[in-house]
C-alpha cells in the first residue's frame, strides 16, 4: 500500500496518528491470530476423533450386515437439527444442540429382538455424521477468520507500520533541513545587513573627516 503524504506539519501529525493506531491495534490482532490458530487446531483434532468414532461405528454396523437386511429403515428419519450460535475468538460458529428423530411404531413381538438396538445404532451413526458437518463448518469459519487476521497482522507489521515510520522520518528530515536552511539564510541576511551597516558607518566617518 502506497502511503501518500506531504512535507508539512499537518501531514506529519496525520501519519503519526495513523501509526499510533496501528501500533496499538497490532498486539490485539496478534493475540486474536494466536487464539484462532489454537481453536482451529482443537477443531481439527475434534474432526479426527469423530472420524475415528465413525469408523468404529461403521465396523460395528458391518458386523451385523446380515441382520440389517431385515431392518426397515423407513421406521426412523431425522426430523430436525437444532442448533445455536456461539462466539469463538470473536467468530460466530454454529453449534449442534440436538438431533430430533421421528420413529414409526413397530411391533416388538413381530420384530427381531435387536430392532431396538438397531434404532440406537442408527441414531448414533447419524449423530456423529451430523456433528462432523458442524465441526467442519466451524473449521472453515475459524480458518477463514484466521487467514484474514494473519493478512492484517502482516499488513500492519510488514507494510503499513514500517511505511508510516519511513514517511515520518522523511518528513521530519525535510522539515529539519528546511529549518536549518532557513536559519542559515537568516544568518546570511543578518551578516549582509551588518556588513552594509558597517560600510555605511565607515563611509559616514570618512565623510566627517
Tell me, what's the pLDDT at 107? 64
Q: Which of 19-33, 44-58, 68-82, 126-140 has the lowest mean pLDDT?
A: 68-82
Burial of 174 (0-12, 13-18, 19+ CB in 10 A): middle
Tell me, what's the pLDDT at 135? 93
What would the grid cell of residue 73 be?
Answer: 429403515
pTM over 0.85: no
How many other CB atoms are there within 10 angstroms of residue 140's CB atom? 13
Q: What is the DSSP letter of 7?
A: S
Which domains does the chain possess?
Answer: 9-169 (1.10.287.3240)
pLDDT band at 124 (very low <50, low <70, confident <90, very high): confident
Give the mean pLDDT of 90-98. Answer: 92
Tell me, what's the pLDDT at 31? 95
34-44 pLDDT, tens per residue?
999 999 999 99
Q: For residue 47, how far is the Cα from the chain centroid?
A: 22
pLDDT band at 209 (very low <50, low <70, confident <90, very high): low
Q: What is the DSSP letter of 3?
A: P
183-206 pLDDT, tens per residue?
767 777 676 777 766 676 676 766
Amino acid at each position: 500500500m502506497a502511503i501518500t503524504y506531504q512535507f508539512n506539519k499537518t501531514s506529519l501529525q496525520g501519519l503519526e496518528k495513523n501509526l499510533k493506531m496501528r501500533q496499538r491495534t497490532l498486539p490485539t490482532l496478534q493475540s486474536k491470530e494466536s487464539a484462532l490458530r489454537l481453536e482451529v487446531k482443537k477443531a481439527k483434532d475434534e474432526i479426527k476423533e469423530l472420524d475415528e468414532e465413525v469408523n468404529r461405528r461403521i465396523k460395528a454396523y458391518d458386523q451385523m450386515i446380515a441382520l440389517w437386511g431385515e431392518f426397515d429403515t423407513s421406521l426412523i428419519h431425522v426430523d430436525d437439527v437444532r442448533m445455536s450460535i456461539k462466539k469463538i475468538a470473536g467468530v460466530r460458529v454454529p453449534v449442534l444442540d440436538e438431533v430430533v428423530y421421528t420413529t414409526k411404531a413397530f411391533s416388538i413381538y413381530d420384530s427381531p429382538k435387536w430392532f431396538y438396538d438397531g434404532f440406537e445404532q442408527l441414531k448414533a451413526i447419524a449423530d456423529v455424521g451430523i456433528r462432523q458437518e458442524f465441526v467442519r463448518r466451524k473449521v472453515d469459519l475459524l480458518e477463514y477468520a484466521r487467514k484474514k487476521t494473519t493478512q492484517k497482522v502482516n499488513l500492519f507489521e510488514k507494510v503499513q507500520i514500517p511505511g508510516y515510520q519511513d514517511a515520518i522520518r522523511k518528513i521530519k528530515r525535510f522539515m529539519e533541513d528546511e529549518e536549518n536552511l532557513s536559519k542559515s539564510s537568516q544568518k546570511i541576511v543578518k551578516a549582509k545587513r551588518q556588513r552594509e551597516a558597517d560600510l555605511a558607518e565607515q563611509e559616514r566617518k570618512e565623510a566627517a573627516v
